[in-house]
Amino acid sequence: MDVNSYSGNDQLIHDDLNVQQIDADEDLLEDFPDDIEVIDLVQSRITSIKALGLERFHQLDSLCLRQNQIRKIECLPKTLTELDLYDNLLRHIENLDEQVHLKNLDLSFNNIKKIENVNHLKELENLYFVQNRIRKIENLEGLTKLENLELGGNNIRNIENLDTLTNIEKLWLGKNKITKLENLENLQRLSLLSIQANRITRFENLNCLSHCLRELYISHNGLTSFEGIEALENLEVLDVSNNYIKHLSHLKGLKNLQEFWASNNEFDSFQEIEDELGGLEKLETVYFEGNPLQKSNPALYRNKIRLCLPKLLQIDATPTR
């Protein structure tokens, strides 16, 4: 018998010397120097941050523990400016009291139900909570330096409690249960709003963003009209794909519009495209695929769009030249 085999209970177990052994959490960092600044351990089957013994890394700046099996935030160095715990098993945000230098925090793809214990992290610039179980936007009052907030893929029903985020530039709220555009008045630096796959039925309360908003992504909602969007005179990119809009009225004032994505709506008039969009001198790209005007004229559709808007550089995914 092979000396590396064991037989018993009618089973034969072979030691395969080619199988890569997974180190215990305690051993993963044993060869790392104490003065290392970046640690990146992705898909390492880590279950405990405490077991890693991070306290000896007094200059650690960035810690990435993506796609592990961590259940608790604990025992982190005070020096961190970047912490990435994407795709773990976290249920609570905790033990970040001393991590006051954090600028980037990613807790996406966990099981977090409540935003808490982060409003003291006053240096935060980027905060990610994608695909958790959060129901309410709250406890962000101290994050006055925050520039980018990602809350997509949660169970949020209302836009609220953002008043103190006066430096925020990008707000991502896609794939939630939001029914109304509201409480955006204090976000005077907001240049990008993504609110795709929600339950929005109207453009409203947008006057406050007229000078700053450049990109609006509001596809997969319940919109039936552009009424209310005319306030966004500095808008450059507008995505209204997969809604129920039939007419292009209220768009003439969007003089800075460069990209207009409107696939899978109810548009059926080429003449309306010319009348409503023809005066938008900066418009370069349009998407009308999946609308009645495309489905009823598939062979002539592109040429008709080009005749209506001769300055276009791209129709759907295809360049015009």
pLDDT (tens digit per residue) in 1-43 = 343 333 333 333 344 434 344 456 778 999 999 999 999 999 9
Neighbouring C-beta atoms of residue 127, cutoff 10 Å: 24
Q: What's the CA angle centered on 158, arms 117 and 229, to 5 degrees?
A: 125
Task: Please give the domain boundaries of the chain with CATH numbers for all domains.
Answer: 33-177 (3.80.10.10), 200-320 (3.80.10.10)
pLDDT of residue 321: 85
> How many angstroms separate the CA atoms of 126 and 208, rounded?
23
Please compute the mean of the pLDDT values over residues 241-250 and round it to a whole number.
98
pLDDT at residue number 296: 95
Is 109's pLDDT higher than 90?
yes
Average pLDDT over residues 73-78: 98
Nearest-angstrom CA–CA distance, 257 and 260: 7
Average pLDDT over residues 71-85: 98
The Cα–Cα gap between 299 and 283 comes to 23
Q: How far from chain centre, in Å, is Cα 207? A: 24
Q: Within its chain, how far is the Cα of 292 from the centroid?
A: 31
How far apart, in Å, are the Cα atoms of 156 and each of 115, 180, 254, 265?
A: 12, 12, 30, 26
Q: What is the mean pLDDT of the segment spanning 159-164?
A: 98
| Residue range 37-56: mean pLDDT, rounded | 96
User: What's the mean pLDDT when you consider all of the chain?
Assistant: 93
pLDDT per residue over 114-136, tens digit each? 999 999 999 999 999 999 999 99
Q: Per-residue pLDDT averaged across 299-309, rounded?
A: 96
User: What pLDDT, on a 0 to 100 scale, did the predictor assign at position 26?
Assistant: 79
What does the DSSP 8-state code read for residue 5? E
Q: To 10 degrees, what angle do helices 301-308 and 270-277 make?
A: 30
CA distance linking residue 304 with residue 310, whole number of Å: 10
Q: How far is CA 258 from CA 51, 130, 200, 218, 261, in A?
A: 52, 28, 23, 16, 10
CB atoms within 10 A of CB 58: 11
Q: Is 189 exposed, middle or buried (0-12, 13-18, 19+ CB in 10 A)?
A: middle
DSSP run (H or E) holding 231: none
pLDDT above 90 as % of the chain:
91
